[in-house]
């Protein structure tokens, strides 16, 4: 079977079942195991001198191990079946939609409940968030994780099969843990952060294109590209700008990290700046519309 046919099955399987609690409450999720591996190299090698070199070598070793493991799984008896199951586990469409929908539901109950829900999917400070800030955070997370958790893994599975997907997930996990410009990780996590930027270069723009097309091209591509450049990330701005355009909402803007307020510019600055649960629910629908567009594209690859 082709990578496209296997991916088609994996996408449907993930959309139907997501991440069953009965299973992952008993077994460690592969993403958790990847996180443990990244944490180990951080504790073991992020010391002393030559931290950039140590970080690059350790990160390369993790990627090599992930790729080899993916190849070994694909080579098992009934290999295509295991590839589909592994890919479905490493895709995150259903779980992403469920987590974003939880924020809308809880925000309708109270701001405090909304803060607790959004804290599960964003890395910024949430203790003082008001309703619109909670909604923006949920929508931004929806857009960025659509790229990182669905479209990019699918893209690299199409390109490199399960080894390609495993390398991408290891890279993305490493970037989320050590790819920060902090005194501890700026040197050690440099290779992981740069490689993550590289691997997301095409998928982030593809995600923006799929969102844009799925919603009838609500803004010109040039305007969306301009808004994407306002984002601090070279890649995350693309799906975020597309989602902001699709919903007519201004995203990004000022927020707090570790008690420090950062005055980031708004993406789609002319959009609505006081979103609420209705806009979060619209973002959840946008996730499914974009997923359906991606599924059609994969289907066309499969039958081509």
> Which range, of 161-170, 200-209, 218-227, 237-246, averages the lowest pLDDT?
218-227
34's CB contacts (< 8 A; 6+ apart) are 62, 66, 169, 170, 173
Distance CA 52, CA 36 (A): 20
Determine phi and psi for 255, rounding to 5 degrees: -160, 170
SS3 string, 83-114, reads HHHHHHHHCCHHHHHHHHHHHHHHHHHCHHHH
How high is the pLDDT of residue 259?
79
Q: How confident is the model at residue 219 (pLDDT cuts 50, 70, 90)?
A: confident
Across the range 8-25, mean pLDDT stands at 95
> Which range, of 58-72, 102-116, 226-240, 256-270, averages the lowest pLDDT?
256-270
Does residue 1 have a pLDDT over 80?
A: no
Neighbours of 123 (CB within 10 A): 13
Specify the pairing of strand 255-257 against strand 260-262: antiparallel
> Which range, of 245-249, 250-254, 261-265, averages the lowest pLDDT?
261-265
Looking at residue 177, the DSSP 8-state letter turns out to be: H
* 66 compared with 229, residue with greater pLDDT: 66
How is residue 35 written in tokens?
């996180």
Is residue 273 within 8 A of residue 248, CB to CB? The reply is: no
Is residue 94 within 8 A of residue 16, CB to CB? The reply is: yes
Distance CA 180, CA 20 (A): 31
Specify the pairing of strand 251-252 against strand 266-267: antiparallel
124-144: buried (b, 16+ CB within 10 Å) or exposed (e) per residue? bbbeebebbbbbbbbbbbbbb
Range of the structural domain that residue 134 is part of: 3-303
How high is the pLDDT of residue 262?
83
How is residue 243 written in tokens?
């989602």
Q: How confident is the model at residue 232 (pLDDT cuts 50, 70, 90)?
A: confident
Average pLDDT, the chain: 95
Tokens 């070793």 belong to 61
Distance CA 275, CA 104 (A): 11
How high is the pLDDT of residue 231?
83
Is residue 200 within 8 A of residue 152, CB to CB? The reply is: yes
Does residue 175 have a pLDDT over 80?
A: yes
Closest CA to 134 of 149, 148, 162, 113: 113
Percentage with pLDDT > 70 across the chain: 100
> Which range, of 54-58, 80-84, 155-159, 215-219, averages the lowest pLDDT?
215-219
| SS3 category, 169 | helix
Distance CA 129, CA 167 (A): 35
Does residue 117 have a pLDDT over 90?
A: yes
Q: How confident is the model at residue 123 (pLDDT cuts 50, 70, 90)?
A: confident
Task: Provide the domain count of the chain.
Answer: 1
Distance CA 215, CA 237 (A): 18
Tokens 């270069």 belong to 201
Please provide the size of the chain in residues. 304
Distance CA 148, CA 92 (A): 9
């Amino acid at each position: 079977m082709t990578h496209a046919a296997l991916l088609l099955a994996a996408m449907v399987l993930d959309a139907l079942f997501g991440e069953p609690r009965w299973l992952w409450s008993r077994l460690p999720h592969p993403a958790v195991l990847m996180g443990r591996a990244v944490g180990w190299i951080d504790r073991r090698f992020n010391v002393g001198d030559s931290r950039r070199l140590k970080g690059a070598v350790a990160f390369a070793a993790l990627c090599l191990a992930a790729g080899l493991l993916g190849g070994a799984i694909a080579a098992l008896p009934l290999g295509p079946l295991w590839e589909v199951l592994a890919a479905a586990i490493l895709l995150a469409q259903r779980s992403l939609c469920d987590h974003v929908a939880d924020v809308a539901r809880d925000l309708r109950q109270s701001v405090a409940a909304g803060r607790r829900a959004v804290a599960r999917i964003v890395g910024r400070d949430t203790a003082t968030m008001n309703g619109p800030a909670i909604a923006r955070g949920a929508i931004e997370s929806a857009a960025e994780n659509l790229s990182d958790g669905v479209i990019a893994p699918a893209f690299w599975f199409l390109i490199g099969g399960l080894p390609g997907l495993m390398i991408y997930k290891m890279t993305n996990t490493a970037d989320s843990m050590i790819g920060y410009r902090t005194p501890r990780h700026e040197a050690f996590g440099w290779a992981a952060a740069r490689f993550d930027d590289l691997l997301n270069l095409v998928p982030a723009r593809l995600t923006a294109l799929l969102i844009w097309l799925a919603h009838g091209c609500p803004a010109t591509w040039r305007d969306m590209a301009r808004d994407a450049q306002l984002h601090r990330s070279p890649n995350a701005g693309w799906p975020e700008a597309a989602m902001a355009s699709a919903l007519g909402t201004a995203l990004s803007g000022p927020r707090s990290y570790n008690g420090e307020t950062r005055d980031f510019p708004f993406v789609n600055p002319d959009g609505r700046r006081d979103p609420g649960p209705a806009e979060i629910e619209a973002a959840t629908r946008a996730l499914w519309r974009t997923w359906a567009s991606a599924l059609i594209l994969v289907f066309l690859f499969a039958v081509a």
